[in-house]
């Protein structure tokens, strides 16, 4: 008994020690989280430094701590466009900030609407007689659009600039599926609903080509107009009309070619650029060194300039990313999650609601769930407006139909009113290997849809009927929202995609304007004057893990430590876009999905979380290769 008692006391001591260790680690982690959050006390004045290591997005994704610890690297940074605009506008009027500095060496890009909004805020800084300086190893379209609004644009001597314009090729799998004997059963409504075309052919249909040509043409004209207004001396015609002759005139020196074309003002390395900034804002007394200058980072600056919360609240719900079933997001628009946010806000006595949409669409069921939740707010007799960002197409337009007023920008992509579904079956592929199917059925629908035996005619007819009914519902929703007949909506629907200008002309959009315009309209409808209201972003909260993980991984405030890229590396990064496209297409084909309202030809904002995409690709390919 004495020996057993000693063993027991030893086990109890080990248990108590482990509990104590766990508690110590817990409180150390909690302390680290609290102390690594940005503090207004970290504002040092000088320049507001926007080191954009990543992409500009509508809604930043949450950091997955398990994935970060397993991969030993932070995901690339994501910057909410509204945060950047708020920070830049605050810098324009604060005497502590003498200049705004953009470091775009690791900038991935963003949607055209977001870039235009940020560019406009940089213009306001310059109007306040403060300089804006930009630096990058090299510039491509998105970086060039931002840098164009700077008073001084610098490029590294080993870098340069290239303007490619929107558009490009995408993958088509019709020939591959034929060789693999995979039957992709396609159900759709809409002459222009091109989302299914990659699975049934080897090229664009004439209708999809017409639609894409009109869309990309409109976006290209808006891009050129924005850059030309910001930099009137830029010779875009030379840069884009004959890029080979343009570069040859500078003997292949792309940095010199960019300067001669007026895309950049100065050629110099990072140290020379830093010395130039230091002459304006003063040296860095905290970390002196070559090219250092006094600066304040984005996070503490935002902490020191929090939004005003006086007056009544006008709710803002964000629908960003693909609309999917479930609780996904932020960064994806999970139907259950967004509906819950809206329902929780029913008790908040909101004066109005603005629905911010930046989505290519997705699940019809999830889109309808969100729409019904918006209607529950509308039933309270409060004004409801929609503010469209870069994208509000397909399901993104479905969720916009409850609005009394729809705001969009000329660069906004909307429409794509259509429905589709894709169901692959493998009976022919299995037959090549001698695998057949047989069984007993009590009805034509027994065992359907059967991926091994194929679809029965009855199943195909029923799925097509459901898709057609969904399209009819879509037309009805739009017709009631826009004051048109279903027949009139059908003429402009058919899956066709529209830029903001044409969408306004045909009545899919009411007026041009951004989120601030939608909020102002909602406040006016609610009888509130300026200063009597504030925007309340539903579900918006700081990422509790990001600061701690960032400190543990030794990264900067943005996120990952992606290396700065030269011109060739920037152009070669298109390979990552190809990988994401392949992954998304395989996921769409092999994952069980319902009816979808999704826009395929809509250009995407750059996706920062490429690790997640790559892991999904590995998972899909692994599933396909299993015996």
Q: Which two tokens stand for residue 417?
A: 């009113």
Helix (H, G, I), strand (E, B) or coil at 543: coil
Q: Which long-range contacts (CB under 8 A, 24 or more apart) does 469-478 make?
A: 470/189, 470/364, 470/419, 470/595, 470/597, 471/189, 471/190, 471/418, 471/419, 474/398, 474/417, 474/418, 474/419, 474/597, 475/417, 477/371, 477/398, 477/401, 478/397, 478/401, 478/417, 478/508
- CA nearest to 364, candidates 443, 418, 316: 418
3-class DSSP state of 138:
strand
Q: Rounded to the nearest 10 degrees, what angle do helices 546-553 and 2-36 cross at?
A: 100
Across the strands, what pairs with 78?
55
Query: Could you give the residue numbers annotated as active site?
Result: 193, 394
Residue 624's Cα: distance from chain center in Å?
Answer: 29
Q: How far apart are CA 121 and CA 68, in angstroms?
A: 33
- Rounded CA-CA distance 84/187 in Å is 42
Q: Going by C-beta distance under 8 Å and a sequence separation of 6 or more, which residues neighbour residue 582?
A: 171, 617
- Residue-level length of the chain: 627
Q: How far apart are CA 73 and CA 549, in angstroms?
A: 9
d(CA 22, CA 19): 5
The answer to whether 328 and 337 have CB atoms below 8 angstroms apart is: yes
Q: What percent helix, strand, coil does the chain show, rounded to 5?
A: 45, 20, 35
Number of CB atoms found within 10 A of residue 618's CB: 10
DSSP codes of every residue in 324-378: ESSS--SSSEEHHHHHHHHHHGGGS--SEEEEEEEE-EEEHHHHHHHHHHHHHHH
Find out whether 120 and 83 touch, Cβ atoms under 8 Å.
no
CB 604 within 8 A of CB 431: no
**How many CB atoms neighbour CB 130 within 10 A?**
21
* d(C-alpha 295, C-alpha 103), whole Å: 12
Consecutive H or E run containing 387: strand 384-393
Give the residue among 324, 383, 388 at the shortest CA–CA distance from 533. 383
Per the DSSP assignment, residues forming a β-bridge with 80 are 57
Write out the two tokens for 11.
Answer: 């086990």
Residue 189, token pair as written in the block = 């409504």
Residue 609 phi, psi (nearest 5) = -85, 65
* Angstrom distances, CA of residue 598 to CA of 395, 406, 525, 585, 594: 6, 20, 32, 13, 12
């Amino acid at each position: 008994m004495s020996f057993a008692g000693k063993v027991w006391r030893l086990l109890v001591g080990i248990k108590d020690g482990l509990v104590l260790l766990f508690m110590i680690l817990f409180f150390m982690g909690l302390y680290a989280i609290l102390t690594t959050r940005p503090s207004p006390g970290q504002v040092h004045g000088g320049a507001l430094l926007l080191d954009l290591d990543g992409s500009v997005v509508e809604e930043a994704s949450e950091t997955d701590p398990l994935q970060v610890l397993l991969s030993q690297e932070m995901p690339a940074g994501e910057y909410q466009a509204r945060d950047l605009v708020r920070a830049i506008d605050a810098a324009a009027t604060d005497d502590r900030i003498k200049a705004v500095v953009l470091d775009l060496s690791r900038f991935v890009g963003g949607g055209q609407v977001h870039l235009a909004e940020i560019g406009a805020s940089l213009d306001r800084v310059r109007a306040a007689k403060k300089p804006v300086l930009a630096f990058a190893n090299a510039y491509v379209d998105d970086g060039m659009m931002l840098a164009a609004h700077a008073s001084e644009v610098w490029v590294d001597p080993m870098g340069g600039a290239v303007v490619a314009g929107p558009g490009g090729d995408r993958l088509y799998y019709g020939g591959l599926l034929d060789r693999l004997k995979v039957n992709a059963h396609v159900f759709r409504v809409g002459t222009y609903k091109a989302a299914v075309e990659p699975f049934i052919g080897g090229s664009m249909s004439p209708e999809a080509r017409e639609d894409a040509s009109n869309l990309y043409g409109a976006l290209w004209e808006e891009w050129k107009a924005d850059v030309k207004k910001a930099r009137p001396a830029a010779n875009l015609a030379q840069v884009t009309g004959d890029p080979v002759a343009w570069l040859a005139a500078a003997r292949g020196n792309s940095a010199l070619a960019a300067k001669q074309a007026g895309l950049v003002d100065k050629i110099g390395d990072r140290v020379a650029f830093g010395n130039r900034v230091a002459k304006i804002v003063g040296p860095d007394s905290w970390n002196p060194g070559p090219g250092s200058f006094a600066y304040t980072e984005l996070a503490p600056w935002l902490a020191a300039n929090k939004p005003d919360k006086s007056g009544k609240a006008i709710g803002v719900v964000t629908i960003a990313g693909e609309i999917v079933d479930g609780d996904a997001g932020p960064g994806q628009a999970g139907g259950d999650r967004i509906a819950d946010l809206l329902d929780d806000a029913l008790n908040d006595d909101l004066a109005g609601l603005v629905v911010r949409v930046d989505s290519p669409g997705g699940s019809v069921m999830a889109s309808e769930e969100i729409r019904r939740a918006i209607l529950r707010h509308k039933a309270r007799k409060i004004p409801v407006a929609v503010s469209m960002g870069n994208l509000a197409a397909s399901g993104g337009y479905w969720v916009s139909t409850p609005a009394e007023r729809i705001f969009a920008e000329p660069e906004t992509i909307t429409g794509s009113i259509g429905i589709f579904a894709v169901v692959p079956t493998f009976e022919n592929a299995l037959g090549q290997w001698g695998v057949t199917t047989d069984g007993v059925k009590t009805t034509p629908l027994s065992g359907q849809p059967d991926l091994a035996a194929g679809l029965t005619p009855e199943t195909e007819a029923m799925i097509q009927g459901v898709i057609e009914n969904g399209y009819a519902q879509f037309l009805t929703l739009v017709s009631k929202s826009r004051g048109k007949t279903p027949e009139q909506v059908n003429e402009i629907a058919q899956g066709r995609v529209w830029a903001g200008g044409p969408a306004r002309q045909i009545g899919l959009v009411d007026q041009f304007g951004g989120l601030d315009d939608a909020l102002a309209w909602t406040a006016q409808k609610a009888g509130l004057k300026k200063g009597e209201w504030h925007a309340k972003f539903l579900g918006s909260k700081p990422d509790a893990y990001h600061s701690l993980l960032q400190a543990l991984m030794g990264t900067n405030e943005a996120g990952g430590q992606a290396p700065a890229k030269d011109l060739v590396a920037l152009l070669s990064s298109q390979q990552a876009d190809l990988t994401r496209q392949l992954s998304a297409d395989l996921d769409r084909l092999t994952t069980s999905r319902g009816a979808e309202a999704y826009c395929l030809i809509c250009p995407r904002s750059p996706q920062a979380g490429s690790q997640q995409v790559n892991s999904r690709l590995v998972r899909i390919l692994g599933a396909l290769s299993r015996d």
